[in-house]
Every structure is written in C-alpha cells, then in structure tokens.
Structure 1
Amino acid sequence: MLEFLGNLLWGKVLIALLIFVGVGFTLASRFVQFRYFGRMFRILSASQAFKKDKHGHLSSFQALLLSVAGRVGGGNIAGVAVAITLGGPGAIFWMWVVGMMGMATSFLECTLAQTFKQAEPDGTYRGGPAHYIARGLGKRWIWLAGLYSILLLITFGFGFTALQSYAVATSVGDAFGVPVYYTGIGLAMIVGIIIFGGVKRIARVAEILVPIMAGGYLLLAFVVLGMNLEQIPAVITLIVKSAFGLEPVVGGGIGAAILMGVKRGLFSNEAGLGSAPNVAAVAYVPHPANQGVVQAFSVFIDTLIICSATAFIILLSGIYDPAGASDVEGVALTQAALADHIGEWGRSFVSVALFLFGFSTILYNYYLGENSLNFFSTENQNLFNGFRVVIIGLVCWGATTDLSTVFGFADVTMGLLALVNLIALIGLMKPGLRIMRDFDEQIAQGYDQPVFDAKRFKDMDLDAAAWEIEPEDLERIAGKTAKAPAESLS
C-alpha cells in the first residue's frame, strides 16, 4: 500500500504539479530566476550578508547556508548515480532544466514565507507554508495549515531524522569498520549539544559546516575535471544527445532520461516541497523578494553545481557503462568512479562526505520539526525540550535499525506534504507576483536595496512587528538610493 501510494504521488500527481508551478511562475514572473541571477551571487560578497546582527536576527547568508545544509544530502551523491544508471547520461540534462524551473518555485515559496513571517520575543522570526497558508489563504484554510505542520513534523522531524542517522552510521561502518551503535551514540550526543542551543546555534554550525562539506566535495570534483579536461566536451555532448535520444544507448531510453532527470532535480533541490521556506523565513531582510532571490540561489547550488559535480565524476570515469553491463549503482557507483580517478582513498572520501551531508541534514530536519510545533504553540518550552529528547533518541535508534518501512511511510507523507504546499502556492501565486512587482519597481526606480513597506499591504494580514526595518538599514538604503529620502522609505 505504501509503495502504491508513493508511486501514485511521486510518479504522476506531484511531478505534474511541480512542473506546472515551476513553469507557470517562470512565465508569469518573466523568468525571475534569470533576471536576478547576478543578484544571487551578490549575497556572497555583500557585507550585510555576513554582519553580526545586534538585534538578534539571523542574516540572509545564514539562512542560505541553513537551507543548503538541508537541500544538499545523500541524494546529491547516491541519487544522481541512480538517475544516470536508470535514465542514462541524458537524465542530467533534464535535471538541469528542472533545476532552473525549480529556482522560480523556490523564489515564490520563500518570498511568501518571508512576507507572512511572524516576529518572536527573542528577536527571531518564524514562518513557512503553515504561516502563509493560514494568513495568505485566510482563516477558512487554517485546517490545511495545521495538516501541513503535522505532516512536516512526521516526515522531517521524525522519519527523515532516523533515516539520515541510519545512512550516516552505515556509511561510516562500511568505510571505517566502526559499529553502527557507536556512531549512533556519538552522533546523538553532538546533535543534542547543538539543538538545545536553538536555531541560532544551528545556524552558527551551518556557517562552518556547509562551506567545508560542499567546498571540499566541489574542490575534489574540480580536481577530477582538471585531470580530464580533454574529455569534458565529449561528456557534455553525450549528455545533450542522450537527453533527446540521439545516442544509440541511453540507459532506459529517452522516456527514462526525462523521468529520472525530472525526479532527481525535483527531489534533490526540494523546490515546491515547502521545507526550505521554513528556513527562509528566519532571516532579516529589508524586502521579502530579496530572500526569494537568495533561496533560488540555494537551488542553483544544489542541482546545477553539486549534482552536476557528481555526474561529471561518474561520466568521466572508466566505471560507468552506458550499456548497463556494470552491476555497480547508487553510492557504490560514485565511490567506484572517484576511486578510478584518484585511488582507493576516494571511497573513504565519499563516505566522509555522506557523513557531513547527513549530519547537516539531521540538524535541518530538527529545525523543520521544531518549526512545525511552533505553529501550534510558541511558549510551551516543555514541549520543545521533549521534542529535542525524542530527536536524540531517534538518532540512536535510527543508526541501528532497518528503516525500509519507515522510508516508505515517510515517502508518502512527504508526498502529501508537497501536495498541500503546491495547492497553497497555486492559490497564492498572485500575492507572490504582487510582492515581486513591488521589488521590480523599486529596482527600476534606482533603489539599490528595495524596502518593503508593510503598510501598503494591509489587506494581506501581515505581522507588522516582523516588518520593522532596522534604523541603520534605513540610513544605509537612503544613502544609496537616488530618488527618495529616508522618511519616504520608512
């Protein structure tokens, strides 16, 4: 039954809806992900992205790293290998296409999450699909927001936390011979220390961990590319030709290439699932669309960069056989391909990368679970502490247990989670476009950093306290704009 429901959701319903929302918003927004592509990179060099906010808010850059910590996981290593095995090299081309469409979807859902976020007494923000469903769609739909929160808690807070622990423990065991229960205990202790510090401590860990894990993996991928420069044009040609059935052997054919590329792109970058908006809402930004742009960049990092790195490592090796003669697949294919390039230590490197990716995802999953509880209660600290204890227990249990049934159940609940979010995105596409056009207009008028005036959007039931622009930002923005004094910006 779980397999039937999972195949129905992920094989037909969700792929159609995800493509509809991605392509639909891309066209309606006049290709926002391409129009503001340069602005995505600017966040990495802007001093405001790295500043230590004296008001206690998380920065836009911290929220970006936190979302990358969740998007980048085992799917970037094992999932890409499966896509190539079943769909051939052409699956990578369709993965790229879906990734670019997913950037628009992520812009929409994360802009909405910022718009409808609410301020917390400790100086942080909370938000996500449950909040934009309840505020954006109206009180009649608050039951749907509650359903979303329950599904988020079950899927990410419970199910995927145990699954990531299992993946980390088994990977370490295979590579280094460490018993899974030792890894589970050690992992649980580290996770406990971090999550009891709240979202700010999680963000600080992500600031350190994400650049190390993603940067290290990409550095090795660049080394592999450098060792095989003369073969790169041929591999790119193979990917493009296979995507359109122009190669004699393309895995399972052009249909399999499209299906596997679409699924890999959608599942890896999580655009449309509603998970990333929970993180996007925690940042302080002068305008909600600014964080939408940043989170679109997160999809670019996940799919267009890291997934592509894995694909080139595999396709440039002598291990991958387009005819399917090799029995090596999944993470073993990535390990074998890397070993073919740099020696046997490449297998251990993949295991270490999986460990770091899985660990960061556990922290991300915890935060999603905490945010789902926050929708129902913001003041019951016993509830949150109890949840943290449960997470520590799940990390220990998951490391030592066969989780095939748990995975099947979580796959279905994640499908339902995505279904709820996509329905909400379709209903809120007009408000999302309205916020984007406000951003566009200010850019066109010469504002370097657009400012969101919540008073102009009173009909949208926004939390005014969440949109108090900081005085120093008003001064900074006023100094950089050519058309308006600080008073008009406030």
Structure 2
Amino acid sequence: METALGTIYDLIWNPLVYVTLISGTVYTIATRAVQIRQLPAMITCLFGRAESKDGTTSFQAFAMALGGRVGVGNIAGVATAIAFGGPGALFWMIATALLTASSAFIEATLGQIYKVKVDGEYRGGIPWYIEKGLGLKWLAVAAATVAVLCYTTLIPGVQSSTIVTSLDDAFGIPTWISGLVLTALTALVVFGGTKRIAHFAQTVVPAMAAAYILLAVIVLVMNFQAIPEVVRLVVSSALGMDAVYGGMIGAAVSWGVRRSLYSNVAGVGEGGFAGAAASVTHPAKQGLVQAFSVYIDTVLVCTATGVMILTTGAYNILPEGRAALTENLPGVEPGAAFTQVAVDTIAPGVGLGGGIVAVAIFFFAFTSILSYFYYGVTNIVYLTGSARGILARIVQVAVLLAVYLGTVRSTELVWMMGDIGYGLIAWFNMVAIALLLPIALKALRDFERQQKQGLNPLFDPAAAGIKGATFWESADAPVTASINRL
C-alpha cells in the first residue's frame, strides 16, 4: 500500500513544487508585490470590526486560517526539510512564503467575492469561485468532493499522530489514552459550530504562536554567537555555494518548497474557506489579512524552529546520530525530535525539550484539526446547501474517526496520506486561481483606488466590473447596508 501511495505522492508533488514557485512569482508581479506594498494595510485590516453579526471578525477568520496553517509542519516539518534538504531548505521555505503570500491574497479575495450566506453564516472558497467565477459546476462539485474527503479522512491524522506520540515520549501517556482524550476534546469544540471554533482559535492561536516565538528568542539569545555562521550557512547552501551542502541545492529547493506549502498552505485554498467567513466591507481586506497569516506561519514560526535547530547544533547530529536519537524517542517524527534537542539546550541535562515541544505540538496541531473540520463542513455546505443535514453530521463523525485512527497508524503512512490530501486540493485551487487572476486584480485595483482617496473601501461588484458576486448585490452586503444608512 505504501508503495502505491508513494507513486501517487510523486505524481502529485513533483510538478507541484515548480507550479508553486512559478505561480507565486507571477502573482507577485501581477499584483505589484501586494504582499509587501500593503503591509501597513494588512495590520489595519487585521483588527477591523465585523460588519455583520452573521460573520466573524477579520481577526477571527485570520486566527482560524492561522490555526490551520500553524501545525506540526512548523515543528516537525521544518526540521524534516532541513534533515533531507540541508540548511538551505530553510531559505527556500522563507522565499516560497514571501512569494506565495500573493497566492493567499488572491484565494482569500476570491473567497470573499463569491461567498454566500447559508444558515446565518458566511461560506465560500474553492467550489464557489470555480462555479460562480468560471461557470464550471462539474469541476466545483469535484473540488468540493475531494476537499471533503481530504479534510475529513486524509489530513487530520497527521496532527493527531504527532500529538499522541510526542505526549507518549515526553510524559509516558499511552497513545490510546491520549488519542481518546484528544478525540473527546475535538468533539466538544466541533459540535459547537463555526462561532465556537472561531472564538477558540482567536484565544489560543495568538498565544501559542507568541509563546513559541518567545521560546525561540530565548534559545537564540543563549546561542547568539552562532547566528552569523548560521545565516551564512543557510544562504550559501541554498544557493549551492557551500562546500559541504553545495550538491544538495536541488533537495534544498524541493524540500523547502514542499514543507513551506504544507506549513502555510498558501495556494492550497484554505485561506479562501476561512477568509470567506469574515464580515468585511471589501474582499481585498480579507485577502490582505490572509496574506499576513503566511508571514506569521512561515517567516516567524517556521524560521524560529529552523534557527533554533541550526544555532544549537541539533542538526549536526545528522546523519550518524539520527538512528540513535529516534531510538531514544521512538515513534516521533524525526523533525520533532530535533526540535526537542534544540530546546533542551536551555537547561542541559534537565530534559525540558520533550515536554515543552509536546505541549507546543498539542496546541499547534489541535487548532489545525478544528480548522480542517470547518473546511470539511464548508464543502458539505456547497454540496448540500446546509451545514445541518445528515452529511454534515457524517463529516463530524468522520473527522473524529480520522483523529483517532491517526493515533494508531504508522507515522510514515499518516504523513504520506496528509501530503497526498494537500496536493490534491492544491491542484484544484491553483488551476482555479490562475484562471481567476483577472478578477482578483480588478478587486485589488478597486480597493487601492478607494484607498488612495482616503476612503474606507466598499465593494460594489458592478463598479469593479465583476459578475457573479451575488452576495455583494444582496441586502446583506456591507455596501448596501452603508447606503441604506445614508
């Protein structure tokens, strides 16, 4: 089975690495580097109030998307990229994030443009902008079906598997016990609906990201003398100029791009699902917010992990020490073990690394699981028209089952299934946003035109030359509401 899955993995991901880099570059040029030019506006939009009680705030949508982005990929995935791609993989992770933040802007803007209101909540994302923007209903149905399958069965196990193995290694908690507890905690939140997930993410995600970055700062301060050499090593090995890692430039690019995409999922479409839930006055506002979440995920959190590993010398135990390390920490994804070694340098001999990293993994991965549930239900809403039908309940059960099964499957199988799931969704989304780029650019120009006039941008699809944005033409739209108040 794993051989067959490996073949599927290669077919999906080998070309996707290049598509990700090329599309990110094209979108950066087309938007005139919106992800850099509009950085001040990103901060402003992030803390905007909800324009309707039916939607979430921009910050809550940001937190939900970041909850899906910040997961085990930020701890285990980063170090795995360094282990197999060399230190230069960290450079390419960051470079990919800077480019694909433009992809996140486009997919979230499109998610807002073509969103709908169902059961008193805003929903949108890949299938909606495929149907409404491209007029391809059959492709939208196929995309939604694949997304439901992936978010409810293939992807959640990556997070739950890493949670239970790290808790077992750090605290000796049997995986079957932590698996049951994790499944029960997931049920408590997911049965509460979108608002409960949004409020949970709003509270937990910023705190966990800040705490992890603070931990990285402590490690860096303790190893400050190694920082210049690490920077030189990362850049030189990324560009093939290092004597030791010069021959790994291909692996550095490949692993850097793959793990960046897996971590921040810019271009996969998650930003469109989460971004559509927000109540804003203009789609581009949420596009900017989702682009900013890529920076938090990769440029801050992933870089924190990578620099901790490299400055403490944890990477130097490879490859000879890898077998001994994983024997001492059985079942742990090697990357997580490397991060534990790095954190252990804070208090050598005490063994803090295992516990601290296990707690970080729990919160990072748990919020990812909740975001996956939301994305799965959102696609069920597209297929059935409601989040309250029998299929939505099946999704709830499927996610809980996938969470538990992920705790008893082999780590290699779980990660491969998760990668395949992300890759399948990414192909649907990348084709769609490439075809819909002109629509996103129209929305961006409309936003920036009003921005230059000193206005709070309001979206009128007719004025922007955009068709099919039915929500924005309804009485629920912030534009209509603003006009009615005059």
TM-score with structure 1 setting the length:
0.90
Deviations 1:372-398 (A, max 9, x none): 111111335333223223323333333
1:338-377 paired onto structure 2 within 5 Å: 338-343=343-348, 344-377=351-384
Q: How many residues end up aligned between the 2 structures?
A: 469
Aligned partners of 2:219 and 2:345 also within 8 Å: no
Give the one of 132, 137, 157 matched to 2:134.
Answer: 137
Q: 1:296 to 1:3 in 2, by over 3 A?
A: same
Give the one of 359, 383, 393 matched to 2:391.
Answer: 383
> What's the counterpart of residue 200 of structure 2?
205
1:4-403 paired onto structure 2 within 5 Å: 4-11=7-14, 13-44=15-46, 46=47, 48-49=48-49, 55-122=53-120, 124-138=121-135, 141-250=136-245, 253-321=248-316, 324-327=319-322, 328=325, 329-343=334-348, 344-379=351-386, 380-402=388-410
Q: 1:409 to 1:317 in 2, by over 3 A?
A: closer
- Sequence identity, in percent? 37
Q: 1:313 to 1:325 in 2, by over 3 A?
A: same
Paired letter, 2:58:
S
Which sits farther off after the overlay, 193-202 or 78-87? Answer: 78-87
Paired letter, 2:180:
I
Paired letter, 1:63:
A
Aligned partners of 1:175 and 1:351 also within 8 Å: yes
Aligned partners of 2:451 and 2:457 also within 8 Å: yes
Unaligned regions of 5+ residues in structure 1, if any?
Answer: 475-485
SS at match of 1:282: coil
Deviations 1:341-386 (A, max 9, x none): 3341122101111111111111011111111111111335333223
Distance (whole Å) between structure 2 residues aligned to residue 106 and residue 259 of structure 1: 20
Deviation, structure 1 residue 458: 6.9
Distance (whole Å) between structure 2 residues aligned to residue 307 and residue 418 of structure 1: 21
Deviation, structure 1 residue 237: 2.0
TM-score with structure 2 setting the length:
0.91
Paired letter, 1:361:
S
Q: 1:439 to 1:458 in 2, by over 3 A?
A: closer
SS at match of 1:182: helix
Paired letter, 1:132:
Y
Deviations 1:290-315 (A, max 9, x none): 10000000100111000000011101
Aligned partners of 2:45 and 2:286 also within 8 Å: no
Distance (whole Å) between structure 2 residues aligned to residue 236 and residue 460 of structure 1: 48
Give the one of 420, 430, 451 matched to 2:428.
Answer: 420
Paired letter, 2:461:
A
Deviation, structure 1 residue 21: 1.6
Q: 1:144 to 1:40 in 2, by over 3 A?
A: same
Deviations 1:226-254 (A, max 9, x none): 22233322221221122222222127522
Aligned partners of 2:223 and 2:312 also within 8 Å: no
Deviations 1:118-170 (A, max 9, x none): 11242x200001100000001xx111111111111111122222332222122
Aligned partners of 2:57 and 2:279 also within 8 Å: yes
Q: 1:396 to 1:121 in 2, by over 3 A?
A: closer
Deviation, structure 1 residue 325: 4.0
Distance (whole Å) between structure 1 residues aligned to residue 8 and residue 97 of structure 2: 25
Which sits farther off after the overlay, 248-257 or 77-86? Answer: 248-257
Aligned partners of 1:84 and 1:91 also within 8 Å: yes
Distance (whole Å) between structure 1 residues aligned to residue 480 and residue 346 of structure 2: 51
Distance (whole Å) between structure 1 residues aligned to residue 376 and residue 269 of structure 2: 13
Q: 1:206 to 1:413 in 2, by over 3 A?
A: closer
1:465-476 paired onto structure 2 within 5 Å: 468-470=476-478, 474=482
Deviation, structure 1 residue 255: 2.1
SS at match of 1:125: strand
Aligned partners of 1:224 and 1:313 also within 8 Å: yes
Which sits farther off after the overlay, 101-110 or 337-346? Answer: 337-346
SS at match of 2:284: helix
Paired letter, 2:129:
Y
Distance (whole Å) between structure 2 residues aligned to residue 422 and residue 465 of structure 1: 25
Unaligned regions of 5+ residues in structure 2, if any?
Answer: 326-333
Distance (whole Å) between structure 2 residues aligned to residue 233 and residue 384 of structure 1: 52
SS at match of 2:315: coil
> What's the counterpart of residue 482 of structure 1?
none
CA RMSD in angstroms comes to: 2.3
Distance (whole Å) between structure 2 residues aligned to residue 151 and residue 466 of structure 1: 30
Deviation, structure 1 residue 27: 0.5
